[in-house]
Amino acid sequence: MTSMLRYGIYGGAFDPIHLGHLLLAETCFRQAKLDRIIFVPTGKSPHRYAKNSFCASADDRFNMLEAAVIGYDEFLISRYEIEQDETSYTIDTLRHFHQTFALTEPRFFLLMGADMFNDLPNWKEPTEICKLATPLVVERAGSPPPYYPGLSGFASPDKIDEMRQLAVAMPQIGISSTSIRQRLARAESVRFMVPRGVEAYIAAHGLYKTQTSGK
């Protein structure tokens, strides 16, 4: 009998993906003993408020992800959210993956920073989210700590205790997609901030020459 696979779900704009994203994925992969991590580039997100715009197109963000993880079989990419016409809610994405992988009955872990974790009670169907996946909280130096009691009305004490034990400590990394876009808009180098394949893709497609490129 094969053991149950452990999948980490890593959602984000990835506009563009950078080495900080990959280090976070790798750290979670190792510390939580995951079998696969699925990167899910955001479609229409409820967390980007009224703006809901990206500087690169959905296809470009997906293609940059492909360029970043090529050769790493443990890292997968899903087009699920970027192909949805409506707002993408985490609960719907988790249901999609449960249906997609139903035959293998995997366990799902939702990668998120402490700030997003603390806001989880305000998300759509937080109780169901905690049933379908275990939040895998990434703790960063200089960021607010995760507030586990905030989920006491949405998850069992045993589930919350599991979240505490699985929490991943990450070093503070001074790289962000925003800073990368700003550097590119000023025609500055982003070498060693993004994977080489991503850097080449950005150059080949003329991305981020201004802060409003893409739709």
Query: pLDDT by residue for the chain (215 residues), tens digit each?
Result: 457 899 999 999 999 999 999 999 999 999 999 999 999 999 987 765 435 579 999 999 999 999 999 999 999 999 999 999 999 899 999 999 999 998 788 999 999 999 999 999 999 999 999 999 999 999 987 788 999 999 999 999 999 999 999 999 988 888 999 999 999 999 999 999 999 999 999 999 999 998 654 44
Taking Cα atoms as reference points, which of 105, 114, 96 lies closest to residue 24? 114
Element (H, E) at 61: helix 58-69
The residues, ordered by sequence, that sit 6+ positions from 1 with a Cβ below 8 Å of its Cβ are none
Q: How far apart are CA 77 and CA 209, in angstroms?
A: 26
Q: What strands lie across the sheet with 36-41, from one edge to the other?
A: 75-77, 36-41, 6-12, 107-113, 134-140, 168-170
Residue 143: the pLDDT is 82
Domain 6-205 is found in CATH 3.30.930.10: no
DSSP code, position 44: B
Q: What pLDDT is attached to residue 2? A: 54
pLDDT score of 211: 63
The span from the CA of 16 to the CA of 77, in Å, is 14
**Taking a C-beta distance cutoff of 8 angstroms, is the pair 134, 163 a contact?**
yes
What Cα–Cα distance (Å) separates residue 77 from each residue in 13, 102, 110, 163?
13, 18, 15, 24
Using alpha carbons, list the distances in angstroms from residue 79 to 3, 92, 213: 27, 14, 21
Q: Where are the beta strands (DSSP E) in the chain?
A: 6-12, 36-41, 75-77, 107-113, 134-140, 168-170
125 sits in the region (left: phi over 0; alpha: psi -120 to 50; else beta) called: left
pLDDT at 45: 78
What pTM does this model have? 0.93
